[in-house]
Amino acid sequence: MTPHNSVYDDIEQVAATGGGGIGLSELKLPEGEDERVREAMAERDLRSLYCVPASHTILGMSFGPMAGVTMSLQERIDRICTSIERLAPFDPLAIVVAPGASGDGANPVGPVEDVLTALPVIADVAAAHGQTVGFELLGQRRGSPVYTIPDMVAIMDEVGRPNVGLMFDPFHSWPEPDLHGHIREHAHRIVGAQVCDVRVQERSGMDRELPGRGRGVCAEIMATLLESGWNGWWEAEVFSDDGTFFEAFPDSYWAMPHEEFLRMTKKAFDDCYAEAWRIVTERAVTR
User: pLDDT tens for residues 148-185?
Assistant: 999 999 999 999 999 999 999 999 999 999 999 999 99
Confidence at 205, pLDDT banded by 50, 70, 90:
confident
Q: What is the distance between the alpha carbons of residues 124 and 137, in angstroms, rounded to a whole number?
A: 20
The reply to whether 111 falls in a domain is yes
The reply to whether 216 falls in a domain is yes
CA 104 to chain CA centroid, Å, is 20
Cα four-point dihedral sign 59, 140, 280, 267: positive
| Residue 248 domain flag | yes
Residue 35, C-beta contacts closer than 8 angstroms, at least 6 positions apart: none
> Counting beta carbons within 10 angstroms of the beta carbon of residue 68, is it exposed (0 to 12), middle (13 to 18) or buried (19 or more)?
exposed
Decide if pLDDT at 66 tops 80: no
Confirm whether 239 is domain-assigned.
yes
- For position 64, what pLDDT does the model report? 66
Among the residues of 106-217, which ranges form H helices?
A: 113-128, 149-159, 170-173, 179-186
Structural domain includes residue 2:
no
Burial of 70 from C-beta contacts in 10 A (0-12 / 13-18 / 19+): exposed
10 Å Cβ neighbour count for 173? Answer: 21
pLDDT above 80 for 141: yes
Do you know the residue count of the chain? 287
The pLDDT of 79-104, averaged and rounded, is 96
H/E segment holding residue 264 = helix 258-286
- Interior CA angle at 212 toward 248 and 237, to 5°? 50
68 near 41, Cβ under 8 Å?
no
CATH number at residue 225: 3.20.20.150
Summarised one tens digit per residue, pLDDT across range 10-54 is 999 999 999 999 999 999 999 999 999 999 999 999 999 999 999
Q: Does residue 167 belong to any structural domain of this protein? A: yes
Residue 80 lies in a domain: yes
Q: Reduce the DSSP state of residue 48 to 3 states and report it.
A: strand
Strands, DSSP E only, in the chain? 21-25, 47-52, 94-97, 133-136, 164-168, 190-195, 197-198, 208-209, 234-236
- From the centroid of its chain, how far is CA 158? 23
pLDDT category at 287 given cuts 50, 70, 90 is confident
Secondary structure of residue 9 in the 3-state scheme: helix
pTM equals 0.95
Separation of CA 119 from chain center: 17
Report the distance separating Cα 3 and Cα 24, nearest Å: 12
In this predicted structure, the answer to whether residue 65 has a pLDDT above a threshold of 80 is: no
Instruction: Give the residue-averaged pLDDT of 233-251.
Output: 95
Range of the domain at 27: 7-286
What one-letter code names the amino acid at 131? Answer: Q
Predicted pLDDT at 103? 86
Average pLDDT on 122-141 reads: 97
Tell me the sheet residues that pair with 164. 133
- What's the number of domains the chain is made of? 1
Report which DSSP code applies to 30: P
- pLDDT for 259 beyond 70: yes
Residue 191 has pLDDT above 80, yes or no: yes
- What pLDDT score was predicted for residue 62? 72
Could you tell me if residue 1 is inside a domain? no
For residues 233 and 193, is the Cβ–Cβ distance under 8 A? yes
